[in-house]
Amino acid sequence: MPKRIVSGIQSIGHRVIESIWRLGLASRFFILVLLKSGTSLRRFNLVIRELYFTGVLSLIIIVVSGLFVGMVLGLQGYETLQKYGSESAVGTLVALSLVRELGPVVAALLFASRAGSAITAEIGLMKATEQLAAMGMMAVDPIARVVAPRFWAGVISMPFLAAMFSVMGVFGGYLVTVVFIGVDEGSYWSQMQSAVDFRFDILNGFIKSCFFGVAVTAIAVFEGYDAPPTAEGVSGATTRTVVTSSLVILGLDFILTAFMFRGVS
């Protein structure tokens, strides 16, 4: 069936061209958002309002998940390390895993599904109900007034959320290993402190979460702004936000890790 094969290849090619097109569109939109950020920085109460929705409302899921991830890490780490008699190193394991990788990455994944999807749905619905067009008609640029504050709120809240996730995780690990299992408290903290370096681990983790914050919110606002103004369009855009930003987070994490920790250890 050569005809079917040809049309299959055609559709693949069509999809590739389509996604490259969208990538270009997204990049242009991203630049536009940056250029029009002046308003949201001048009127910071717009950003504060969005910080409430993206940051404060994401707190619960971040804190609870961080706690559980830390507890699991503590439990698993203890089980493994105990075989070699080095269960006192469990603090190191918990802290390094969280600060370097799990804190920024898992917090960003949770953020994408909690706040990113909400941003996309909100902007998409505003577009579908002609609120963005109405704003444009009132001589107010919707990118400056609606998109940019949400973007900056996401970028600001992401590192904070990642840090809280890591702290809750370290506390969760402490809870399981020190309080429940009975690892020595002093060695939990001291091993951790001697292994975790400020510049290499904490600062790099912080930088990672900043990158993730930019990536997730940029994808979320673009998908919302670009969503077809129908119910299916908005729901599809919301799904795409979660899927795309999850993939981008993991890919970006690999690239950043390769840059940051290469040749260090």
Partner 1 sequence: MESSISMTSDNLIEVSDLNFSYDTRAILKGIDMTMRRGQVIAVMGGSGSGKTTLLRLISGEIRPTSGYVKFAGEIVHELDRDALFKLRRKMGMLFQFGALFTDLSVFDNVAFQMREHTNLPESMIRDLVLMKLQAVGLRGAHRLMPNELSGGMARRVALARSIALDPMLVMYDEPFTGLDPISLSVIGNLIRRLTDSLGMTSIVVTHNVEESLKIVDYVYFIADGVIAAEGTPQEVRESVAPFVHQFIHGEEDGPVPFHYPTQAYRQDLNLEDSVA
Partner 2 sequence: MQRTTMDLWVGLFVVMGIIALMILSLKVGNLNVYNPSQSYVITGNFENIGGLKVRAPVKSAGVVVGRVTNIQFSTETYDAVVTMSMDARFQFPKDTFASILTSGLLGEQYIGLAAGGDEAMLKAGDKIMKTNSAMVLEELIGRFLFNKAAEDDSF
In 3D, which of 148, 131, 141, 168 has the Cα closest to residue 220?
148
Rank residues 124 and 173 by Cβ distance to partner 2 and give the closer one.
Answer: 173
Task: Let me know: does 134 contact 241? Beta carbons within 8 Å.
Answer: no
Rank residues 72 and 167 by Cβ distance to partner 2 and give the closer one.
Answer: 167
**Cα–Cα distance, 156 to 149 (Å, whole number):** 10
Residue 139: name its binding partner from partner 1, partner 2, none (Cβ under 5 to 8 Å by kind): partner 1
Task: Let me know: does 188 contact 88? Beta carbons within 8 Å.
Answer: yes
Question: Given the structure tokens 């981008």, which residue do they identify?
Answer: 248
The 100-139 site mask, x for binding partner 1 (CB under 8 A), equals: -------------------------xx--xxx-xxxxxxx
**Cα–Cα distance, 237 to 167 (Å, whole number):** 33
Residue 145: name its binding partner from partner 2, partner 1, none (Cβ under 5 to 8 Å by kind): partner 1
In 3D, which of 158, 154, 146, 118 has the Cα closest to residue 33?
146
Rank residues 89 and 126 by Cβ distance to partner 1 and give the closer one.
Answer: 126
Rank residues 117 and 204 by Cβ distance to partner 2 and give the closer one.
Answer: 204
> How near is the Cβ of 156 to partner 1 at its closest, in Å?
20
146 binds partner 2 per the rule CB under 8 A:
no
**Cα–Cα distance, 168 to 175 (Å, whole number):** 10
Return the axis-axis angle of helices 2-35 and 204-226, rounded to nearest 10°: 110
| Exposed/middle/buried for residue 94 (C-beta within 10 Å: 0-12, 13-18, 19+) | buried
Candidates 10-18, 30-38, 164-172, 210-218 — which segment interacts with partner 2 by CB under 8 A?
164-172
Q: How many CB atoms lie within 10 A of CB 228?
A: 13
The 77-116 site mask, x for binding partner 2 (CB under 8 A), equals: -------xxx-xx-----x---x-----------------
Binder among 30, 32, 59, 72 for partner 2 (CB under 8 A): 59
Residue 52: name its binding partner from partner 1, partner 2, none (Cβ under 5 to 8 Å by kind): partner 2
Rank residues 105 and 227 by Cβ distance to partner 1 and give the closer one.
Answer: 227
> How near is the Cβ of 48 to partner 2 at its closest, in Å?
5
H helices within the chain, ranges in order?
2-35, 38-42, 44-54, 59-82, 90-96, 103-111, 117-128, 131-137, 142, 148-174, 185-195, 204-226, 231-261
> How near is the Cβ of 160 to partner 2 at its closest, in Å?
3
Please give the residue ranges that form the binding site for partner 2 (CB under 8 A).
Answer: 45, 48-49, 51-52, 55-56, 59, 84-86, 88-89, 95, 99, 157, 159-161, 163-164, 166-167, 170, 189, 192-202, 205-206, 264-265
Binding stretches for partner 1 (CB under 8 A): 125-126, 129-131, 133-141, 145
